[in-house]
Amino acid sequence: MRDALFDISGQTALVTGSSRGLGYALARGLARHGAKVILHGRTLESVEASAERIREETGAEVAATAFDVTDAAATEAALEKLIESHGTPDIVVNNAGLQKRAPISEFAVEDWNAVIGTNLNSVFHVSRVLSRHMAERRSGKIVNIGSVQSKLARETIAPYSASKGGVVMLTQGMAADLARHNIQVNCISPGYFKTDMNTALWQDETFNQWVEKRTPAQRWGDVDELIGALIFLGSPASNFVSGQNIFVDGGMTAVV
Ligand code: NDP
């Protein structure tokens, strides 16, 4: 008998912010493990192009959708439409995110709103709609993407840290509300991975060396190293796990 513990084949997974970066790698990882994947970003054309790449590589069923996660009404309308075409996703990864850097006294109000809107409000906008449908079905896996900044602050990114700390507490609060409906809500908090979001960091040799020194594994993460935690949290293996946060950070948050 095949062990179904970590089996996600045939499951439908929506990954927000998967046109590129970590979201793309997470969606590709789910597709490689047999899930039907729905890619997402703000521009349908670029999401479609990314979907085609995953289709070609994995042969998986990959759909594309585009909406702005900071807009509650647009998000709700797009998700309801998506459910009509693809059914309620079994796995939802709230990954879309944004970074803006400046010392707090110089931080623009509009940038604060953009960071909180993209990183934290988005999780609420997506989850409030999908959890209703998941509750009707009595099953669902919601995986939110935090950060090492969910736990540790760093200069010039206080709003990002606030948003990611909020994601962890929103995860716990959603777990409290949704466990009774057989919906598990958990968080994956990545360490440092080279993507568009932090180009300025990995192109800076001083920062590069800081990451390598500060991380017990002495290196940046490889995007595919996030897949294992996601398969665990998206599969029956985690059916009694909820409200938890798994750091995938090469040991960074375990040490000073
Ligand atoms: P990228 O900048 O590479 O990608 C961001 C993704 O989010 C894109 O797909 C983008 O879509 C989407 N997005 C941004 N704003 C919106 C919006 N308003 N509506 C819809 N989609 C949006 O970021 P990363 O891949 O690096 O980050 C992904 C997640 O991982 C974020 O939550 C980030 O905070 C987190 N993270 C990243 C780390 C890293 O080292 N890279 C470390 C820890 C956490 P579009 O193509 O339309 O712009």
> Which ligand 1 atom sits nearest the alpha carbon of residue 25?
25
The token pair that represents 137 in the structure block: 């079905």
d(CA 146, CA 124): 14
Domain assignment present for 255: no
Q: What pLDDT, on a 0 to 100 scale, did the predictor assign at position 189?
A: 98
Closest CA to 174 of 185, 165, 187: 185
Total number of domains in the chain:
1
CATH of the domain at 209: 3.40.50.720
Q: Is 3 a member of any domain? A: no
To 10 degrees, what angle do helices 109-116 and 158-178 make?
30
Residue 4 lies in a domain: no
- C-alpha distances out from residue 73 to 76, 79, 115, 127, 165, Å: 5, 10, 19, 13, 25
Dist. CA 44 → ligand 1 center (Å): 16
- Tell me the CA–centroid distance for residue 65 and ligand 1, in Å: 15
Catalytic-role residue among 67, 124, 160, 192: 160
Q: Specify whether the CB–CB gap between 32 and 24 falls below 8 A.
A: no
Residue 205 Cα to ligand 1 middle (Å): 23
* Amino acid found at 171: T
> CA–CA separation, 113 vs 94, rounded Å?
18
pLDDT along the chain (256 residues), means of 10: 86 98 98 98 98 98 98 98 98 98 98 98 99 98 98 98 98 98 98 94 94 97 98 98 98 98
Whose Cα sits closest to atom 44 in ligand 1?
147
Q: Does 156 fall in a domain?
A: yes
Nearest CA to ligand 1 atom 47: 42
Centre of ligand 1 to C-alpha 36, Å, is 21
pLDDT given for residue 2 in this prediction = 60
- Please name the residue that has the structure tokens 């709230």: 94
Integer Cα distance of 29 and 198 in angstroms: 21
Task: Examine residue 2 and state whether it is found in any structural domain, yes or no.
Answer: no
b/e 66-96 (16+ beta carbons within 10 angstroms → b): bbbbbebeebbebbeebeeeeebbbbbbbbb
Is residue 91 within a helix (H) or strand (E), and if so which, with residue range? Answer: strand 91-94
Is 89 inside any structural domain?
yes
Domain containing 33 equals 12-248
Active site (annotated) includes residue 160: yes
Q: Which amino acid is at 25?
A: A
Task: Kindly state the tokens that stand for 124.
Answer: 């609420």
Angle at 87 between CA 81 and CA 88, to 5 degrees: 95
Pocket probe mutation, ligand 1, options 42, 143, 194, 220, max atoms within 8 Å of Cβ: 42
Q: Please tell me the distance from the alpha carbon of residue 123 to that of residue 128, in angstroms, as a whole number.
A: 8
What pLDDT shows up at residue 3?
74
Does residue 256 belong to any structural domain of this protein? no
Domain-located, residue 196:
yes
- Measured CA to CA, the distance from residue 67 to residue 15 in angstroms comes to 12
State how far the Cα of 113 lies from the Cα of 161, in Å rounded to an integer. 13
Within 6 A (CB) of ligand 1 lie 17-23, 41-43, 46, 68-70, 95-98, 118-119, 145, 147, 190, 192-193, 195-198
